[in-house]
Amino acid sequence: MNLAIKLYEDFHKYPPTKIGDFPDSFFIPEQATFVGPALYVLYRSAKCDPITYIKPDKPENYIHEHKSGVKICIVDSDDGPEKKIPQYVHRVDGLTFLGKCLGFGFIDHDGDDIEAKCTSSELYAIPSGKALLVVEKKKKVTAIIWGGKLNVEPRGIVG
């Protein structure tokens, strides 16, 4: 849990105001449907500007474009092959809240750019920063993003 808190403080530039637990039914799946290479993730965060350390008056929207090697898997979908999720992603002892997830993009199996919009989801990182989770209403993981050089660093999401 200490790594999750440290990642929060590094990313947001201030300590968390609340630390809580997910419901007992919450889990990160060991496999999910691979839908394609990741293009981007859209999120809204109240993190401080990484250069000025000024906290915004209200949360700001961000887009992070992924580099090659980053994958997206969707939970509870049958629109593609099942893929094992690496142990370093699903065997964690905490998660770091990054902000409200607004959506994400990927290239589907036909080569089309797809944007999945999110309305009631939040974006979390695993404590190492090497994977992102889209979580619906703090109850269920709906998408997992990992691979390539994806990382959450003090300046933001990279890779």
Q: 95-127, pLDDT tens digit by residue?
A: 999 999 999 999 999 999 999 999 999 999 999
Res 80: pLDDT: 84
Residue range 125-141: mean pLDDT, rounded: 96
Give the domain extent around 135: 2-158
Which DSSP letter does residue 4 get?
H
Res 158: pLDDT: 95
List the Cα angle 155/2/42 in 5-degree steps: 35
Band the pLDDT of 56: cuts 50, 70, 90. very high
Residue range 84-102: mean pLDDT, rounded: 97
List the Cα angle 130/28/153 in 5-degree steps: 20
Q: Is the pLDDT of residue 1 over 80?
A: no
Domain count, the chain: 1
Q: Alpha-carbon distance 68 to 97, whole Å?
A: 24
Q: SS3 sequence, 107-125? A: ECCCCCEEEEEEEEEEEEE
Query: What is the pTM assigned to this prediction?
Result: 0.95
Q: Where are the alpha helices (DSSP H) in the chain?
A: 2-12, 87-90
Q: Alpha-carbon distance 148 to 156, whole Å?
A: 16
Residue range 28-39: mean pLDDT, rounded: 97
Q: Where are the alpha helices (DSSP H) in 17-130?
A: 87-90
Residue range 54-78: mean pLDDT, rounded: 95
Which residue shows structure tokens 């799946």?
29
Exposure on the CB side of residue 73, measured as CA atoms within 13 A: 24
